[in-house]
Structures are given as C-alpha cells and as structure tokens.
Amino acid sequence: MEYKIEINNQEEIYDIGNVAKHAAGAVLLRVKDTVVLATVAREDTQVEEDFLPLTVHYVEKSYAAGKIPGGYIKRETKPGDFETLTSRVIDRSLRPLFPKGYAYPTQIVVFVLSCDAEVDLQVAALNAASAALYLSDIPVNKSVSGIRVGKINGELIINPTNSQLKDSALDLYVAGTKDELLMIEMRAVSSKAGENQLVNEMSEEDMVEAINFAASGISDACALYEEVFTPLKKADAQLQYKASVLNEEIYTHIKENYKSNVYAALTQMAKSERAVELKRVLELVIKDEVVTSKAWEKEAVKAALEEFKHNLVREMIVKGRIRADGRNLKEVRPISIVTNILPRAHGSCLFTRGQTQALAIATLGSDQDAQTYDTLTEKLPRSDKFMVNYNFPGFSVGEATPLRSPGRRELGHGNLAKRAIEPTIDKNSLCTMRLVSEILESNGSSSMATVCGGALALRAAGVETKKLVAGVAMGLVFEDGDYAILTDIMGLEDHDGDMDFKVAGTKDGITALQMDIKLGGIAPEILKEALYQAKEGREHILGIMEEANSKIIVNEAILPKFDVFSIDSSKIVDVIGQGGKTIREIIEKYSVTIDLNRENGEVKLSGENKLQVDAAKEHILGIIKNSGAGRGGFDRRGGGHERDSRAKIVEFEKGAILDGVVKRVVDFGAFIGLPGDIDGLLHVSKLAEGRVDKVTDVVNVGDKVKVKVLFQKGPKIELGLESKG
C-alpha cells in the first residue's frame, strides 16, 4: 500500500508491503521522481563478541539517472566517496536506536533506483532506512528523520532543492528522533559579492538558531512517521540480549581497594603509559587473594575494572573539574608548529597538539590534476580542484596493523577537513590543490589537527587563502544531574564521554561542524555554551597558528607557475595544430601543461618554471599573431612558424568511416593516423557512451580502429570511435 506524508517542504510516498518481502523490513520511498529502496535484514544467531554488528550500504544505481557506468567495466563496482559518506551518515543516525545487548548481525541496504536531480538523496536515504527499520521486527520503537537546512537571502529554508542549495550560505544536515538530536553535520558555503569572495562563516548564535530550526522540523516529522507507521509495524521478534558482564561484587572490591591505583594510572601523562599502568592494575587485581579465592574470571575482572575506570574519569571531570592529564576543562594541550619541513614538497606543516600529530602536505597542480567524478544528480562529471586525503596508519596508535586503503572513518575525517577549509579558498584559483594528512600520532581529534595543519600547509605552499581555519574537538559529560563541557578532548575522554563535537572555523565564525551525541538529547542552552567554549579554544589555536604563519618562508623555486590569458576563440585551432601536433610540441619544448577553452578562448598555462611558462605564453601569442594563410605550425628547431603554406591538406567528408591506427595516447584522448598521412584527434569523450577513466582502458598505441569523421577544419580533424579492429 502507498502512504503519502507531506512534511518539511516535501511530499514523501511510502510503498509498504509490496517489495522485498523476505527482508525483516522494507520500503520504497518516492520523493518527486526519486525512488529509494531501503531494506533491513538480520541473522537469527548472535555473534559471540559484545558489540552491535550493524553494517549499512548506500548504493547508487547508474540507471537511476539514465546512465551507463563509465570505464571499462560497465557495472557498479567500488562505492564512490558520496556513497561511502552517506552510508556513514545513516549508520551514525540509526545505530543509537538498537536495544542494549542486541548482537544479531544486521544489514541495512539502500538502493537509489530513480533519481530526480532536485531531490536531496541523503535526506531520502535516511528517511527510507529509518522507516524500514521501524517497520521491521527488530525492537526499535523510535523513528528517525533527517533534514537539511539552507540559508538563502538571510532566511532559513528546510529541505531546499539541490539548485537552491547552490545559492545557500549554509549546508546543515541534522538527524534525530521526536525528542532528541543524534547527529549534526554542517558546512559554510562561500559566495561572491561583486568581485570578492565571501567566507560565509556562521556565528554561534546563528548556528544555535539553525539547529533549533532543524530540531523542530525533525520532531514534527518523527511524530507523523510514528502515527502512520505504528499500525503497520511488525510484532517485535523474540530475541535474546547479551547480559551485562559487569559483576557488582568485583566492581565494589575494586572501588574499595584499588581506587588510588586506578587514579594513578589515569593521571599518567602519556597515552601509552596510561594503558601500561592500567594493565598492571589488572594483573594486580587478578592476583588478589579475594579474587583468587572466589575464582573470578579474568574477563569479569577486566570488565569491572573498565567500568570503574569509566566512572572515575567522569567523576574527576564533573565533580573534581579536572581531567586525567591535569588540565582544566577549557585548557588546550600544548601546540607546536613547524612549516615546510619537506624540502621538495610544495608546502608542508607538522602540527602537534599534545599527543596528536598530523603531517599535512599541500601539492599544487593544473586543471588536468583535478579529481573528476560522476553524480546521479548532474548530467556531466564534476571536477574537484580541492582535495583532502586523510591517512591513519596503525603506528599512530602503537599498533602493527596492515596498511589498507582508506575506510569510512578516513573518508569521513578527510571530508570534514575539506568542508572546514574549502570556504576560504578562492573559487577562481588557477591551480588544483591536494592536501594529504598523514597522522603520525593520535590521542584525540586527529581530524581537527588535519584542519589546522592543512590550513598552514596551504599557506606554506604560497596559496593565499582568505583566512586561517582552526578546529577543536569538544566533549560533554553528564553525571548525576550535573555536566561538564571539555575543550580539546583526548582519546580517553572521547571514549568515556557522552558527546563528540568537532567545531572548525575562522576568527569570525564556524565553517564546519560535526556532532555525534551518545546520550540522547542535548538542551539548546548547553549546546550554545559548548559552541561558545569551542570559540574560545579555536581563537587560542588561531593565535598560535597566526604566529607560525608569520614565519613561513615559501620556497618559490619549487612551486609550479600558473598563468591565464585569452585569445580569439577562432584561433584555438592554430594553437592545437594538425592532429594536435603544435600544442603537443609546445608542451614538450617548454615542459608546460596547457588547458584551452574553445568557447571563450581562455588559455591556462602551468609549469615547474616561470621562465618556461612565460616563454610558452609568448610562443602561443606569436602563433596567433602570425596565423595567416599557411601559418601556425611549429619548427622543432625553435625557428618560429615556418610551415609550408603549399602543403596539401587531405579533406574528408563529414560522417566518413575510415581505417586508422592509434599513434599516440594522451590524457585527453588518442591521435589516430589516417589515410593521406594526416592525424585526427579521438577525444576521450568519444571513446564510449559513459565516462572513461583512462584512455588505455579502451585503446592503446598500435591498435587498428574504425573511426568516424565528426568535424574537420583545415588540418584539424575530430573523430568518433566506431569499432576496434
């Protein structure tokens, strides 16, 4: 049956009971022309370990937007970053709903089956997944809603369309239940005022207003969902839950006899030392006469010790107003900053805060170095000129684990740092920028260290960002009706606290925010207090960063050089030359990269040496100046433009099918040798229906091909691929 729900500026149509009937719960959700299938399945046997074995997979199907997957393999393969990040959003929002002790392997799968370019897929995906979980036989008795809030012309808008979001100064995604918020993600969106770019930081007051606005919409939506779905909900399955392994008698014994030992272990300054001391306390308790006489098992003793440690940490913070490492609640750990420690990297920064250390490296490139990727909501591939890659090797926490490709956590942390820094980068920058954060030590919020180190690494590479950005991780502990807000939490406080709240921004406001709440709801006044305390910490860190920034010495000698200028668009063909020979030879002679815009005649040059870039520019301008009849070639001896105007150019009919041989493969396509000793360009976009990641996935040098003549103007020939011989 179909159930229509109008809420939060959109109509949602839920089809329940018609598809995926073997799943524990399933719904088809339609919003405009977007259709999402969400299913929940669980196993009947519990895992032995004491944890929640939940996995979430959000998958975008290419057919949803009428596309065939690009590349050599014509099917969906490895999930893209957006799919991975959306899976993470759904997981973080729904995981807190499961009953304590639930240990049945459970999988939530969300397929995007049809895509409307104006519909927010993350909102639809979470709402569908929540509905499927609520309707299932898993004992989850709360509904979750996800909404997005934008700010256009100073007005907050709930669930803006994707087109509206492009004009918004705010991108705020919030998930929660009827009574409490569970997750918040926010980014500021830079805009232009005349010729100047503005960084749309959000003030703390405006941030609280936007979150409260979202919370109101979520509460209304969840109340309506539960009213509609409750009569349709399956009966709760008869499940067993893992009982708490905590032995109260052991706990009391540790509390009465080993409190001073545990306290001494907690106050060790180094994370590794603290772990070693806690292991020693465990061994001491195990050898205790009372423990041995009562034959208490080691695992039971370990669980009781962990619980006591957890409670002692919280007691020290809330009642003693002091933390394990001796800091007060608002104190930031000592910070040291060293810039450009890598001689051949374009820009680098070693940022150390306490026992967390990030080595951030900035690399500058041309437009051709930008990351391209497909999205369901846009017809053409998107090009990303600012990238942030976050790496977390095992040695950063003292573990000898294998090096693997980035997981969901790494992608999430890199995305958070990207959202924090990106608003300060000039949208019209001539270069592509890649930031890599290598985490060398980790004891609390390496993602915020990435923000700080990354902002300075860009400055160390000579990038004139609008403002410096700093990030700080906040914590919250509730105990016996009292609470404490912590600035710059370390790993121990993250593990034993009730909230992980990361805030990044400039001296003028917040550019990115991420919050996961473990205990349930958070009062608006406490949230406001946490934001203002985060502002104090951020300003402290920015002060240290500004000092380090003033001492940066940019190594101009190793930085690539960029230039942009315009020529008559009709002269682009002369710069390219017959079969691309002219532009290829300019690139080889001057060691530059050239990007040409055929529509407006814009020419972008980049190279490792300023003199070479300048020389390439002069050469191109010389071609344009002398591009009369028979001009425009390139003399390999460096003697200018001496092509013989009497050389005959072979003419082909448009649409002619020709036999050719692949003579050369480049990033943007392949040059094909044609009858009459003339070359034509087979552009990468003409190799297949969808996007091709690498030209060599389709053709290689020496391949015999049949090509179709699409366009010819003098020596310039553009081809399409008919078949490979």
SS3 track for 101-144 = CCCCCEEEEEEEEECCCCCCHHHHHHHHHHHHHHHCCCCCCCCC
- If one counts every other C-beta atom within 10 angstroms of the C-beta of residue 559, the result is 17
Q: What is the mean pLDDT of residues 410-439?
A: 94
Q: Are 137 and 23 in contact (CB under 8 A)?
A: no
CA dist., res. 689 & res. 68, Å (int) = 7
What is the four-CA torsion angle of 698, 699, 704, 706, rounded to 10 degrees? 50
Q: What is the mean pLDDT of residues 306-324?
A: 92
Q: Distance of CA 646 to CAs 585, 631, 642, 649, 682, Å?
A: 22, 11, 12, 9, 27
Q: What is the pLDDT of residue 556?
A: 87
Q: With 70 as the cut, is the pLDDT of residue 721 above it?
A: yes
Q: Distance of CA 348 to CAs 313, 338, 452, 554, 570, Å?
A: 37, 8, 12, 10, 42
Q: What is the mean pLDDT of residues 598-602?
A: 84
Sketch the domain layout of the chain as residue ranges: 2-232, 248-318, 335-535, 560-625, 657-724
pLDDT range class, residue 643, cuts 50, 70, 90:
very low
Q: Distance of CA 7 to CAs 147, 223, 233, 666, Å?
A: 10, 11, 20, 51
Q: Lowest mean pLDDT: which of 82-96, 251-265, 506-520?
A: 506-520
> Both tokens of residue 371?
């990351």
Model pTM greater than 0.85? no
Q: What is the pLDDT of residue 17?
A: 93
> Both tokens of residue 27?
């719904």
Answer whether 2-232 and 335-535 agree in fold: yes
Mean pLDDT of the chain: 89
What is the four-CA torsion angle of 408, 188, 179, 86, rounded to 10 degrees? -30
Domain at 248-318, CATH from 1.10.10, 1.10.238, 2.60.40, 2.40.10: 1.10.10
What number does CATH give the domain 2-232? 3.30.230.70
Q: What is the pLDDT of residue 535?
A: 97
pLDDT 10s digits, 674-704: 887 788 888 888 888 777 778 888 888 888 9
Q: With 90 as the cut, is the pLDDT of residue 194 above it?
A: no
Class of domain 560-625: alpha beta
Q: What is the pLDDT of residue 270?
A: 75
Q: Lowest mean pLDDT: which of 87-101, 190-204, 253-267?
A: 190-204
Residue matched to tokens 């936007």: 210
Q: What is the mean pLDDT of residues 158-184?
A: 94
Q: With 90 as the cut, is the pLDDT of residue 162 above it?
A: yes
Residue type, 718: E
In a 13 Å sphere around the CA of 392, the CA atoms on its Cβ side amount to: 20
Q: What is the mean pLDDT of residues 574-587?
A: 88
Phi/psi of residue 689, nearest 5 degrees? -65, -45
- If one counts every other C-beta atom within 10 angstroms of the C-beta of residue 212, the result is 15
Q: What is the mean pLDDT of residues 507-522?
A: 85
Q: What is the pLDDT of residue 639?
A: 30
What is the percent of the chain where pLDDT is above 70? 95
Q: What is the pLDDT of residue 197?
A: 67
Q: What is the mean pLDDT of residues 430-446?
A: 94
Q: With 60 as the cut, is the pLDDT of residue 630 above it?
A: no
Q: What is the pLDDT of residue 645?
A: 34
Q: Closest Cα partner for 267 from 544, 534, 492, 546?
A: 492
Angle, nearest 10°, between helix axes 446-460 and 408-421?
Answer: 50
The two beta strands, 371-373 and 382-384, are antiparallel
Q: What is the pLDDT of residue 635?
A: 35
Q: Lowest mean pLDDT: which of 149-163, 263-277, 542-556?
A: 263-277
**E strand or H helix that includes residue 547:** helix 524-550
Q: With 70 as the cut, is the pLDDT of residue 243 above it?
A: yes
First-residue to last-residue Cα distance in the chain: 53
Q: Lowest mean pLDDT: which of 145-159, 284-298, 679-693?
A: 679-693
pLDDT range class, residue 652, cuts 50, 70, 90:
confident
pLDDT range class, residue 190, cuts 50, 70, 90:
confident
Class of domain 335-535: alpha beta
Longest dimension (CA), the chain: 106
pLDDT range class, residue 519, cuts 50, 70, 90:
low
What number does CATH give the domain 657-724? 2.40.50.140
Q: With 70 as the cut, is the pLDDT of residue 649 above it?
A: no
Burial of 634 (0-12, 13-18, 19+ CB in 10 A): buried
pLDDT range class, residue 557, cuts 50, 70, 90:
confident
Q: Lowest mean pLDDT: which of 212-226, 376-390, 418-432, 686-700?
A: 686-700
Higher pLDDT pick, 691 / 718: 718
